[in-house]
Structure 1
Amino acid sequence: MYTKSIHYDVIDVNLAMRKMTKDECLDDLKHRILSTDLAPGSDLDETALAEHYGISRTPMREVLHRLAGAGYISSTENRGSKVASMDIGTMRTFFQTAPMIYANIASLAAEARTGPQLEDLKAAQRAFTNATAANDAQAAALANHHFHAVIGQMAHNPYLVASLGRLLIDHTRLSQRFYRPASEEEERRIEKAGEQHDAMISAIEAYEAPLALDLSLQHWDLSRDRMERYVRPDPLPVDVVSLKDHRNAV
């Protein structure tokens, strides 16, 4: 469904001026994948990437291994590396799993959060608010990614956090659509998303785990159908269970 090809002919001036560190390369590739500059399913040429970032193939290979371990790409010995797919099977699993992961994460965050983490969450929300006010869809999607990642850190549960990290990759790519409103009603949804973020912060700050769980499900409901449009014109062949029905399953 994605046919976008990748070209490395035009290299950013700043990248061409100096050799990047492995961490800088890793962060830039994550950003390009989350923003869909590197399209889902696209082939990644190790040699071309190493040249692009001004590093040798050995550290480039390490970067790709780290990306694969985090779920950003898939790598096979004989077929090389590809940006993580967003095919029908992947999306089916995403829409079935996401609400349960988000709900449990929010509940645990409200029970285990620390003061510094709460300040990090409020800072993430300020960045989100600024991005949506500027109508910057990419910045809004990335700020939303960080907001939910901070909630994941608050949960202090390595099993759920690992799942959350993978979910957020696809959520952020899908939400590029959500943050490009085509009507007043869609603009209102973005405003509502910000209001729900504020409510989630308040619930977590007050150690109100049931409320945080409920708000996370409302938040998911708000954007779910808009994210599904990302994979159209062909609708997803899956009956997404009402989130209300998930409440007793989390």
Structure 2
Amino acid sequence: MDQDGRRARGMGLKLAYETLRDEILSLRLAPGQLLDETSLADRFGMSRSPIREALIRLAGEDMVVMLPNRSTIVAPIDITTFPKYVEALDIAQRMNTRLAAEFRTDADLAAIAARQKDFEAAVARGNHLDMSDANKRFHMAIAAAGRNPYLAAFYERLLDQGRRMLHLHFDYLERTHDGYLLTDEHDLMLEAIRARDVARADVLAHAHTRQFRDSFIDYMKENHAGELMLPVPGDPAPAA
């Protein structure tokens, strides 16, 4: 394959990967939906090879599941594991925010504040995909300020895994006006980090997780009350 051919294939792979990832995260492709390589190749006007590579990459990010019969589906949202997910998210969120309050620099504060402005702009546009992306970038700016790449990598994985649930969270809050879209909590977390108030940062990070948890549980009760019983995860008090 010549250089132009490789470039075209790389662009095709990038287009398929980014489009499918956005559609999965925004729930335009529903959990459990079959992803047929031939149909996708026809849709994107390319061969099956870059489609297959895009699906393999998405599988590595837990966005799709490649089944033994060689078919691929959008990864289901396993509601039964939600309590364990929230426990892990709470620990990661609190630890990264605590560390940011302890080790942040002025440059870190500027980066966190910039990501918060990006989130506020996404909220004003009402675009849930932009909102979830900006939310992740805000929290990863906090993680970067904490100077622990291992905790930051763990946190990023959890944030990615929770983005589809966050879309449901946004939808619920916008429809019911029962709660708020995280913006005020982000501002309070930034101020605690600015003040180097580790204990306050921990309390706010824990409350941030709890607010997401409660809204998601309310959404599931409203929409799937007859389908499942969702255990409510514990609510341990933050450490000082």
Q: Which residue of 2 aligns with 1:217?
A: 206
Q: Which residue of 1 aligns with 2:216?
A: 227
* AA of the residue aligned to 1:86: I
The CA RMSD over aligned residues, in Å, is 2.9
Tell me whether 1:34 sits opposite 2:25 in the alignment: yes
Q: Which residue of 2 aligns with 1:72?
A: 63
Q: Of the candidates 180, 185, 194, which is equivalent to residue 183 of structure 2?
A: 194
Q: Does the aligned pair in 1 maintain the 2:169–2:216 contact within 8 Å?
A: yes
**Which runs of 5 or more structure 2 residues have no equivalent in the other structure?**
1-7
Within a 5 Å distance, the mapping from 1:165-176 to structure 2 comes to 165-176=156-167
* Pairs aligned (count): 226
Secondary structure in 1 matching 2:134: helix
Measured in 1, the distance between the counterparts of 2:70 and 2:195 equals 50
Q: Which residue of 1 aligns with 2:93?
A: 102
Seen in structure 2, the aligned counterparts of structure 1 residues 41 and 168 have a Cα distance that, compared at 3 Å, is farther
Q: Give me the TM-score of the superposition, normalised by structure 1.
A: 0.75
CA deviation after TM superposition for structure 1 residue 116, in Å: 5.0
Q: What are the Cα deviations for residues 44-94 of structure 1, in whole angstroms up to 9, with x where unaligned?
A: 222322333334333322222222222222224434322222123332332
Q: Which residue of 2 aligns with 1:237?
A: 230
Q: What are the Cα deviations for residues 215-236 of structure 1, in whole angstroms up to 9, with x where unaligned?
A: 1111112232111234332354
Secondary structure in 1 matching 2:175: coil
Within a 5 Å distance, the mapping from 1:109-188 to structure 2 comes to 109-113=100-104, 117-180=108-171, 181-184=174-177, 186=178
Q: Give me the TM-score of the superposition, normalised by structure 2.
A: 0.77
* AA of the residue aligned to 2:189: M
Secondary structure in 2 matching 1:38: coil
Seen in structure 2, the aligned counterparts of structure 1 residues 84 and 155 have a Cα distance that, compared at 3 Å, is farther
Measured in 2, the distance between the counterparts of 1:242 and 1:32 equals 33
Measured in 2, the distance between the counterparts of 1:202 and 1:158 equals 23
Indicate the structure (1 or 2) with the bigger Cα radius of gyration: 2
Q: What are the Cα deviations for residues 167-221 of structure 1, in whole angstroms up to 9, with x where unaligned?
A: 223432122233232344x2x522xx21211122233344443332221111112
Q: What percentage of aligned pairs have identical amino acids? A: 31
Q: Does the aligned pair in 1 maintain the 2:22–2:129 contact within 8 Å?
A: no
Measured in 2, the distance between the counterparts of 1:43 and 1:138 equals 22
Measured in 2, the distance between the counterparts of 1:33 and 1:195 equals 28
* AA of the residue aligned to 1:215: L
**Which runs of 5 or more structure 1 residues have no equivalent in the other structure?**
1-17
Seen in structure 2, the aligned counterparts of structure 1 residues 89 and 146 have a Cα distance that, compared at 3 Å, is same
